[in-house]
A and B are shown apart, each in its own frame.
Chain A
């Protein structure tokens, strides 16, 4: 597609429920990233996928968080047993892997845990 597409744009969920956030990267981009932006905070790196390589999961805050990328394209970020501190904007980005590549962001998924 023309840009990075994320869904849902807004999600309100009850504490303890599981949520799935979807990201559809720019067509042809081999790298895909997830970041979290909490109110008043900067961007926190969560995970990135690069082609067929093992993902860098070093930013996932707990084992309640997981992500997968199917067929080298669409990615799903799953948060199990949501907590109120998970409330944030989850931003997805993608890039090609050329030298000096730029990453391009989607509009984000706003998650509110009540």
Chain B
């Protein structure tokens, strides 16, 4: 069975500093990995995904994530945080080898960027 862990409930970072939001996963086959962001009272918005290829993927709003197979991690990063990045971030995984289209989400990490 596939699973995702986001070990931090909240991450605080000063504006202009780099940010990292952590995600680790477990799947038996090939991992398809995703990051989504949720602003207050809104649905989830897609940020980026890793399917195959280059381990560093770039997405919307200057975010990027690095796939690390040996550590089964897919951490979200941004070189310079903005106050407007404050939101709830979700990591998700799908087992690309199983034939299932079931996406499992983590519990979310609240990012707070301080001015």
Contacts and interface: CB of A to CB of B under 8 A. Distances in A.
A32 to B, nearest CB: 10
B34 A91 contact: no
Interface stretch (A39-47, A65-73, A76-84): A39-47
B43 A97 contact: no
Interface in B1-59: 6, 32, 34, 36, 42-46, 49, 51-52
Nearest to B4: A42
Given A100-B49, A107-B42, A95 B90 contact: no
Contacts of A43: 44, 90, 105, 108
A50 B101 contact: yes
* Interface size range of chain B in the complex: 20 to 34
Nearest to A33: B103
Given A33-B103, A91-B43, A103-B46, 8 more contacts: A43-B108, A45-B104, A56-B100, A58-B102, A99-B51, A100-B52, A103-B103, A105-B36
Contacts of B90: 42-43
Contacts, number: 53
Interface of A: 4, 31, 33, 35, 41-43, 45, 48, 50, 56, 58, 91, 93, 95, 97, 99-108
11 contacts: A33-B103, A42-B6, A43-B90, A48-B102, A50-B101, A56-B102, A91-B44, A95-B101, A100-B32, A105-B36, A105-B45
Contacts of B49: 100, 102
A97 B101 contact: yes
The 4 A-B pairs with the shortest beta carbon distances in the complex, nearest first, are A42-B107, A100-B51, A43-B105, A105-B43
